[in-house]
Amino acid sequence: MASPPRSLSISFFVLLIIPIISARTSFIKLPGSDGSRSAATNTYCESWRLAAETNNVGTWDVIPSICVDSVSEYLNGDQYGSDYGVIADYALAFAKTVQISGDGKDVWIFDIDETLLTNIDYYKAHGYGSIPYDSNSYNEWVVQGTAPAFDASLRLYNALKKLGFTIVLLTGRDEDQRSVTEKNLRDAGYLDWERLLLRGREDQGKSATNYKSEQRSKLIVEGFKIHGNTGDQWSDLLGFAVAVRSFKVPNPMYYIP
């Protein structure tokens, strides 16, 4: 087959390349993992994250699909750790104002997942909350017992112990995950808690808000004073028998009612 005349060939090449160049420099950009998301998508996703953190979204199942990249960027950048750090600082400032009685009854409660331990490695491999929760694969991850500590949470935990607080861990994990949870916590650096409260058989089917409120209520009946409570879910903090001060650490990946 004969080649087309040279001038036609060049014109064809130019016609071919112009839309590629203009697509790359277009002001209207589609969401993507290369930082090319539109400003509007970024703004929306920041608003969504704030709405989720302030409990304005209500019950939600998965994160908005257009926000996967934005949430991933947040979790893998400096902001996520900084957010824990600033909250830990405010928690500690409050803790220092508490008059410790010395009878071991001054309690600080911590949730575990996304509060003391980070499961970011699991969520990284499962779409950062964009895929519906799968208990099988999640429990496989939990029994590995390799979740690391949040730096700021470990710092707060140790500072509270030094101040004389009694530490109670209150988690939605099941009783049959006690050993692996204890080992994971110790490996991550958390030592000498007073109690680790997990869901027993009688707690199955209860909302996290009810289950955790009931557990706090029992502590109060026992004579404990719950000064502080740190959790990544509003269901860790709200309900009844609430702490004097509650500290909500961020979690833009999942919601537990």
> Binding residues for its own copies, per CB under 8 A?
39, 43-44, 46-48, 50-51, 53-58, 78-79, 82-83, 85-87, 90-91, 94, 245-248, 250
> Shortest approach of its own copies to residue 1 CB, angstroms?
53
As a residue count, the chain comes to: 257
Q: Which is nearer to its own copies, 88 or 197 (CB)?
A: 88
> Shortest approach of its own copies to residue 173 CB, angstroms?
24
CA-nearest of 209, 210, 230 to 112 is 230
Q: Which is nearer to its own copies, 211 or 247 (CB)?
A: 247
The contacts of residue 213 (CB under 8 Å, 6+ apart) are 239, 240, 241, 242
> Shortest approach of its own copies to residue 52 CB, angstroms?
10
> Shortest approach of its own copies to residue 91 CB, angstroms?
8
Q: Which is nearer to its own copies, 197 or 253 (CB)?
A: 253
Half-sphere exposure (Cβ direction) of 202: Cα atoms closer than 13 Å = 4
> Shortest approach of its own copies to residue 93 CB, angstroms?
8
Q: Which is nearer to its own copies, 142 or 156 (CB)?
A: 156
Phi, psi of 232 (to 5 degrees): -95, -10
Q: Which is nearer to its own copies, 57 or 180 (CB)?
A: 57
- Helical spans, DSSP H, in 56-200: 68-76, 78-95, 120-124, 135-144, 151-163, 178-188
Which stretches does DSSP call E strand in the chain? 106-110, 166-174, 195-199, 225-231, 245-248
Place of tokens 């030094």: 162
10 Å Cβ neighbour count for 208?
22
The pair of three-digit structure tokens given for residue 58, joined into one six-digit string? 């209500």
Task: Quote the radius of gyration of the chain (alpha carbons, Å).
Answer: 24
Q: Which is nearer to its own copies, 18 or 50 (CB)?
A: 50
> Shortest approach of its own copies to residue 115 CB, angstroms?
13
CA angle, corner 153, sides to 152 and 159, nearest 5? 90
